[in-house]
Each structure stands twice: as structure tokens, then as C-alpha cells.
Amino acid sequence: MKNYMYLSVFVAGFGQAQTTNPSPYCASQYSDDFMNVSHSVERVQFGTLDNNSGANQYAAPHYVFYNNLSVTVNKGQTLNLKITHDDGTTIHGMAAWIDFNGDNDFNDAGEKVGETLWPGDDDLTTGNSQTYSVTIPTNAVSGTTRMRIRVYEDDDYTFSGADMPVLPCQFNGTDADWGETEDYKLTISGGSTASIEEHLSPNEYIFNNQLFTLLLDENALVNVVNMNGQILSTTADKVIDLSYYSEGIYLIRIQTAGGIFKQVKVIK
């Protein structure tokens, strides 16, 4: 028997209130079948949201809507979504969805905002997490909507074909075998200047060919990006060690707590 796992994503803020009722969205729960396989969503980070729910699954049937957690995003804004899972070697995939048009489902084009098959096979640079770059569509419906993160394994579904895509809901109306689903609230507001990138000024950083040091007073999320647009690392640290990267050109991209995007090109 193979074990497969999916991940779905929702966006949120801070607090610990929750409900186990997904309505009006589809059910996304688990039967535990003949044994418990403790696949779990351990941490979700998206904008100002940082929910560290830990390695333990939410109580059976392993679905939770963190309905007091909320994050506000702007149309046209690009943010990193980082999902940490339990790193099970049999995980089939993980994915994230946002209901951009507010029609109470995740079935529309573009609403799956990230997906990784076999995340348990991650290389050493990503470990038990994946980071997705999410752009809020300019035609998204303003107001409060939802985001779902799902980790699951279901033999009936995954054995029906190779590398089956991650589903946000039940398969053929039945509960999945094992996993966990977390939902969050997301508020979409109109127009944004946050997606416009500014250049870091020389007095905002120091780079000595090995260490990049950010001199901003406020907190920021820092990405190291290669010239193919691939995110090589993401950190909240203000000192980034580039010594283990090969010689070349990299972009250091900064997202401040205030939602401002800045970048600088460095040559190593």
C-alpha cells in the first residue's frame, strides 16, 4: 500500500478560534480508514499570516477552519506562500487554493495557487516545506473569501492514475483516508502599489560577495532568486549567507511588513 498526501491552502491572520464546519465550502475530511497516518499541515505563512499549528493533526476528522485568522491582500500584489508539512516520505502531493471570485468553491481556473507532487522527496534545500509565489488577480472579487491547505493520502484516488492532481474536496463523495485540511480567511482589497518593485538604496544593505546584510529597521521577508526566476531560499533573517551559491547573478527580493516590494541585483 502506498500512502499519498495532499495540501490545500487558505489565508489567515492571528488567534486560535476555529470551527470544524466548512460550509458553504465543500467537505475535506478524513476517515482514518483502518489505522491513523498522522499527515499534518504544520505551519502556514502568507503575508502577515504565520500560523504554526504544530505536528499534531487537528482532532478527527482532521478538518479545521481558523475563522478568526485573517490576512488582507491587494489586487495585483505578489506574495510568498510557505507551507510546512510533516515530511512523510509517502506524501503524494500538496496544493493551495484561493477562492478569488468568491463563489464558494475552488474549481475555477487559476484558483489552485500552488501544487507539489511527492513533497516528501524534497531536496535538502527545501526540507519539509515549499514556497509558492502567489499573485492576486487584478479581477479578483473584493471582500472576504477563503484559502485552503490540504494534506492527504487516499488510495482509491491515487491508485486510479499516476501523479493524480491534488483535489480540494472529497473524491467521489467519500472521505479521504488520511491527512489534514486547514482553511483560513482572506480579505481582498482593491488596487495595489505593493506589486511595484523599488530598488534597495545603497544605505539599506551591505554585500561583501559572501554575506548580504539588510539594514532596514522593519521586519522583512527576503528571497534569493536566480536569473530564471526560481526562488532559491526564503528567510526572515537580515543576514543571508551566499557563500554556498555558485558564481553568478542573483536578485535579492525584499517584502517589508508594510507590503512594499524592493529588490537589488548582486553579482557573486
pTM for this predicted structure: 0.61
Q: What is the DSSP letter of 57?
A: P
| Percent over 90 (pLDDT), the chain | 20
Residue 48 to residues 15, 51, 77, 209, 224, Cα–Cα distance (Å): 12, 10, 13, 31, 20
Could you give the domains of the chain?
Answer: 41-189 (2.60.40.10), 197-267 (2.60.40.3080)
Res. 193: pLDDT tops 50? no
Res. 112: pLDDT tops 50? yes
Task: Classify each residue of 123-149 as buried b or exposed e, where b means 16 or more C-beta atoms within 10 Å of its C-beta.
Answer: eeeeebbbbbbbebeeebeeeebbbbb
User: What H or E segment, with its residue span, contains residue 179?
Assistant: strand 178-189
- 56-92 pLDDT, tens digit per residue, is 777 777 788 999 888 888 888 889 999 988 765 556 6
Assigned C-alpha cell, 209 = 560577495
| Percent over 70 (pLDDT), the chain | 75
User: What H or E segment, with its residue span, contains residue 182?
Assistant: strand 178-189
Assigned C-alpha cell, 94 = 500538496
pLDDT band at 147 (very low <50, low <70, confident <90, very high): very high
* Length of the chain counted residue by residue: 268
CB 255 within 8 A of CB 261: yes
**Hey, which bits of 28-177 come out as E strands?**
41-46, 49-52, 63-74, 78-85, 93-98, 112-117, 129-135, 143-153
Nearest of 170, 199, 150, 171 to residue 39 by alpha carbon:
150
Strand partners for 187: 72, 144
CB 194 within 8 A of CB 259: yes
- Locus of grid cell 468568491: 102
pLDDT (0 to 100) of residue 18: 80
